[in-house]
Structure formats: structure tokens, C-alpha cells
Amino acid sequence: MKNKSKYLILLALLIAAITISCGSPPAEEQSREETAIPVKAKVYPLRDIDETVNASGKVEGIQEVQVIAEVGGTIMEVDATLGRKVNEGDIIAVIDDRTISAQYKQAESQLEAARNGFEQAKKDYQRYQRLFDEGNVSSFEFEQAEYAFKNAKASLKMAEAGYETAAKQYEDTRIKSPIDGYITYRYIDQYQLISPGTPVADIVNDSKVLVKFGVSTAEVSKLKVGQKAKLTAENHPEEEYKGYVKGVSRGAERTTLTYPVEVEALNASRKLKSGMLVDVSIIVDSYKKTLAVPSDIFVETDKMVGVYVVENGKARFRTVSWDVSVDTLVIVEAGITDSDTVVYEGENNLTEGAAVRVVSARVGE
């Protein structure tokens, strides 16, 4: 009976030893896992990066005009509905022309009389000149004919000027659009009495738009006419409008000390309206298939600047050289490659050769 009990005790001890040896990691390995520093790391692939200058500005139509009445009078007709599409030369308002029309007809008659008088004086002058050359009239008679001719010539010029003025005034009673575009504002109503210089309507040609804004001293040195630009509006950010830099000032604006810039863009959809605020992105440089990493993952050790990469569970410091930064990214020239697993969180806790445990590893942008 005692022998049987001893046998059972030995069997139980053997089973417990086997269970412990199979189910638990070696103490040394378990200790290494517990002391490894947790980090987040990823691989940064090669990519295309555009360096941009970004700004905001207000949209203007490529042409914006305020139509002004050239003559005064009562508005008899108005065809200036807001949003109406007009072509250059379309009539948008008519002023009562009865008085001006009478003045125009009078000027027309005066011009006709002046022309007839000039032709007659010219014939008389030529006839008296011939007679004077033949000795058949006195110098006094010739001078009288010459004087009459000069007066007739001056009268004709005055009549022509008067006719042109009257014709212009008559023409100005028909107020016309000077450009192709859309009416954005109307200032007058039918039967309103207006004076010369009164605003009639605002007209905008927004087939193209112009955006004006200011940039800093550091940014203006990167800009030049012809660079590509993109416009986006807050009310439809999914749509981009392609444009280009139309003008860059060589001098700063006196009050803001920024440099004025103009960007022109196509507006085929007509969704961009005059007065809208838009974001502008101007491409000043492009980097093709380049390695770029965030600037905030860099650390300094022993007066060297670089990043940590993960190799076989160890942190390895790599000195990185670069020349250009784009926004929050640094364009890498040397030190790491697009196959390295780069630590992007937890790097400040590392030293060379420290054991690390990657808790997040993926391919990043």
C-alpha cells in the first residue's frame, strides 16, 4: 500500500514538471519581453510630393464693370433683371429721348447746311482765285472770297462737332452692356429720373475668375508667372479649378507688408461667384518618387540628428541628411531607405541598441 502511494506521488510530480516546462517561456526570454520599449513604426514608401504656397482670396470676374448713365432723363424701359445674361451691345435700359432726339435732328440739319455753305464758298473761292490770276478781279474781292471760304470751313467743323455730340447723346439714351456677362446688380427702376453719372447696373464676366491675395517675403521668392494653381471653394470643396499665376508684385503692399499676387482660373461651371472666398494652392516645385518623413520624428543624439529604425527587435539610430522640407515633411537625401521600418512614436525613449517591441507596424504615406 505504501509503495502504491509513493508511486502516485512521483507520477503527480512528473506531470507537474512537464506542464511547467511546456507552458511557460524561459525566464530570460520573458524578462526581455517585459523590458522591451513599446514603439510605433512603419515603412515610408517613395512618393510624388508637390511643394505649394497656400493662400485664401476673394473671387472676382475676369471683367467687372459698373455701367454709368452718360446722359440724364427719365428711365422709360429697364431690361436689367438680376442674373440676366447679356452680350456686348445689348440694351439694358432706355432714357426718354424726345428732347435729345430733337437736338440731334437740329444738329443734323445744321451740319447739312454747313456742308452746303462750305461747298458753295469753296467754289466761289476757286472761281475768284482764277479770276484774280487773270487780272479780272481786285485783290480785295479775292480776299473777301478767301475769307468767306475759311469761315465756311470753320462753320463746317463746328457743325460736325455739334452733330457728333448730339449723335452721341442720342446714342447714350440707349444704355448698353459694354461686355459679355451677367447682371449682378441693378441701381435704377422704370420712370426714375436720373442725372448723368448715375450707376445703372453691375455686370460681371465670370467665364474666368481672378483671385487676389498677399504672400509673405519667404513665399514671394518661390512664385513666378505661369506656375500652376488650384482653387477650391468652401461650399463645394470636392471640385478643383485649374489656374495659373497671372501676376506677382515686385513690391510689398504698404499697409499689410505682403506681396500682391493674382491667380486666374477657368470657371466653366460658373459655380465660382464674384465675392466668394476660395483657397488657392500654387505648385512651386515637384519631387518625383522621393522619400519623405514627418519632421517631428527626428531626434538628436551626440550632436547628430536622425531617426530610429527597427532591426531584429533592436533600435538603431540612423543619421539622416536632407535639404528640403515641404510643409510637415522632410525630403530625405541619405540615411534611410523606403524599406526601413522607421519609428514614428516613442522615439524619444530610445537609445542605440535598445530592445523594442513594435505595437503598430504598417506602410505609411
Give the domain ranges of the chain: 29-46+291-363, 54-61+205-286, 97-171
Amino acid at residue number 303: K
Which CATH code for domain 29-46+291-363? 2.40.420.20
CB 3 within 8 A of CB 307: no
Name the phi and psi angles at 30, rounded to 5: -60, -35
Phi-psi region of 350 (alpha: psi -120 to 50; beta: other; left: phi over 0): beta
CB 149 within 8 A of CB 128: no
Task: Kindly state the helix (H) or strand (E) to which residue 3 belongs, with its residue range.
Answer: helix 2-23
CB 347 within 8 A of CB 336: no
Q: 245: which strand partners?
A: 263
Give yes or no on whether 54-61+205-286 and 97-171 have one common fold: no
Query: What is the CATH T-level fold of the domain 97-171, as seen in this structure?
Result: Helix Hairpins (1.10.287)
* CA nearest to 89, candidates 1, 27, 169, 179: 179
- The rounded distance, in Å, linking the Cα atoms of 255 and 227 is 27
Residue with cell string 447723346:
169
Amino acid at residue number 205: N
State the pLDDT at residue 64.
95
**Grid cell for residue 37:** 520599449
pTM for the full predicted model: 0.67
End-to-end, the C-alpha distance of the chain in Å comes to: 74
- The rounded distance, in Å, linking the Cα atoms of 117 and 107 is 15
- The rounded distance, in Å, linking the Cα atoms of 57 and 263 is 10
State the pLDDT at residue 199.
97
For 24-97, where are the alpha helices, taking DSSP H only? 27-35
SS3 content of the chain, % helix, strand, coil (to 5): 30, 45, 25
- The rounded distance, in Å, linking the Cα atoms of 192 and 74 is 6
Amino acid at residue number 218: A
Cα–Cα distances in angstroms (integers) from residue 47 to residues 287, 323, 343, in the given order: 8, 17, 19
Cα–Cα distances in angstroms (integers) from residue 351 to residues 38, 116, 161, 179, 361, in the given order: 13, 108, 93, 70, 19
- The rounded distance, in Å, linking the Cα atoms of 92 and 175 is 6
Measured torsion, CA atoms of residues 110, 113, 115, 118, in degrees rounded to the nearest 10: -120
Task: Kindly state the helix (H) or strand (E) to which residue 304 belongs, with its residue range.
Answer: strand 304-311
Of the candidate CATH numbers 3.20.20.150, 2.40.30.170, 3.40.190.10, 3.40.50.1820, the domain formed by 54-61+205-286 belongs to 2.40.30.170
| Spans of the chain, pLDDT less than 70 | 1-34, 361-365
- The rounded distance, in Å, linking the Cα atoms of 297 and 189 is 66
